[in-house]
Amino acid sequence: MYNFDFVRPKTIADAAAALGHEGAQALGGGQTLLPTMKQRLASPETLVSLTGIPEMQGVCKADDGAICIGGATPHAVVAAEVAAHYPALAGLASHIGDPAVRNRGTIGGSLANNDPSACYPSAVLGSGATVVTNTRQIAADDYFQGMFTTALHEGEIITEVRFPVPEKASYQKFEQPASRFALVGVFVAKYADGVRVAVTGASEEGVFRWTEAEEALSANFSADAINGLTVPADGMIGDLHGSKEYRAHLVGVMTKRAVAAAA
Ligand SMILES: Cc1cc2nc3c(=O)[nH]c(=O)nc-3n(C[C@H](O)[C@H](O)[C@H](O)COP(=O)(O)OP(=O)(O)OC[C@H]3O[C@@H](n4cnc5c(N)ncnc54)[C@H](O)[C@@H]3O)c2cc1C
């Protein structure tokens, strides 16, 4: 590791000011950024830790019933504190990586990174959640813009994520056994006005909504409703863990499992 400066502000305003300096970068749990720095793939001059900011920590319930999660909240806290309000989201958080990753990694870091195999992006897109930053609110449908790409501007901080709570939901992950990232993960959420289906791990474009399945499930919320529906293998990720065709097949399998678990 090379030398760098480290600051740990106590407020969002101070963090935003620190990130305004050239060469500064936000640090969440460091589960992605620190290994990247060790490999010399990133070399920020100053790390601005967000984990000491009380207003970015923890879980609360908004007046409209939405669950609000602070941007620097670790996965283990989400798993524990959201369980009573949004079990599918808590279940997702409780199966991220291993205990060390869950105790350090944060929801804001995961969403800012937008790894194509990460779990949280599917919950955010599948719930139609809102990503709140220090300057604006971004709807999930506008936030994810491709593999490792988001609507965030340079130095913008994810301060909170707001999840509307569905009637029923489930996340089913076919995990890569070494890392526990999703080979394919599907988040299904049934709201009064329709069903949302978000798929992670599968596409070269990152997390996406499977709209054909959403239409079928909005008409009939049962696993049989998506019989005969398929996603094209073209555009899926193909690697040593699974071919494009295998991932495309898994999308249907995991969606059925998610619907069955939710129902
Ligand atoms: C062994 C291992 C297994 C894992 N398994 C899974 C898994 O099964 N599922 C899964 O979903 N993930 C998995 N992860 C990813 C992990 O859960 C972390 O969420 C992820 O690495 C990034 O979160 P972080 O808080 O550590 O962010 P960091 O590594 O600190 O930062 C990542 C990026 O986000 C930026 N950033 C951080 N916080 C914010 C913020 N609040 N606002 C704006 N930008 C920010 C940083 O500048 C950096 O660019 C795994 C990681 C490891 C190392």
Query: pTM to 2 decimals?
Result: 0.97
State the distance between the two ends of the chain, measured CA to CA, in whole angstroms. 49
Q: Between the CA of residue 6 and those of 40, 130, 134, what are the distances in Å?
A: 17, 30, 21
The residue contributing the CA closest to ligand 1 atom 20 is: 110
Determine if ligand 1 sits within 6 Å of the CB of residue 78.
no
Determine if ligand 1 sits within 6 Å of the CB of residue 144.
no
180 CA closest ligand 1 atom index? 8
Contacts of 4 (CB under 8 A, 6+ apart): 37, 43, 44, 45, 46, 47
Mean pLDDT of the chain: 97
Does residue 263 have a pLDDT over 90? no
Six token digits for residue 213:
């399945």
Planar angle of CA 114, 248, 121, nearest 5 degrees: 20
Distance, in Å, from the CA atom of 262 to the CA atom of 221, rounded to the nearest integer, reads: 9
> What is the per-residue pLDDT for 2?
78
pLDDT bin (cut points 50, 70, 90) of residue 179 is: confident
pLDDT in tens, 204-243: 999 999 999 999 999 999 999 999 999 999 999 999 999 9
Does residue 22 have a pLDDT over 90? yes
Q: Between the CA of residue 23 and those of 19, 48, 147, 257, 261, what are the distances in Å?
A: 8, 10, 23, 45, 46
Residue 70 exposure: Cα atoms within 13 Å on the Cβ side: 20
Does residue 106 have a pLDDT over 80? yes
Structural domains of the chain sorted by starting position, each given as residue range(s) with its CATH number in brackets: 5-163 (3.30.465.10), 168-262 (3.30.390.50)
Ligand 1: which of 96, 107, 137, 199 to mutate, judged by most atoms within 8 Å of the beta carbon? 96
Nearest to 123 by CA among 57, 61, 79: 79
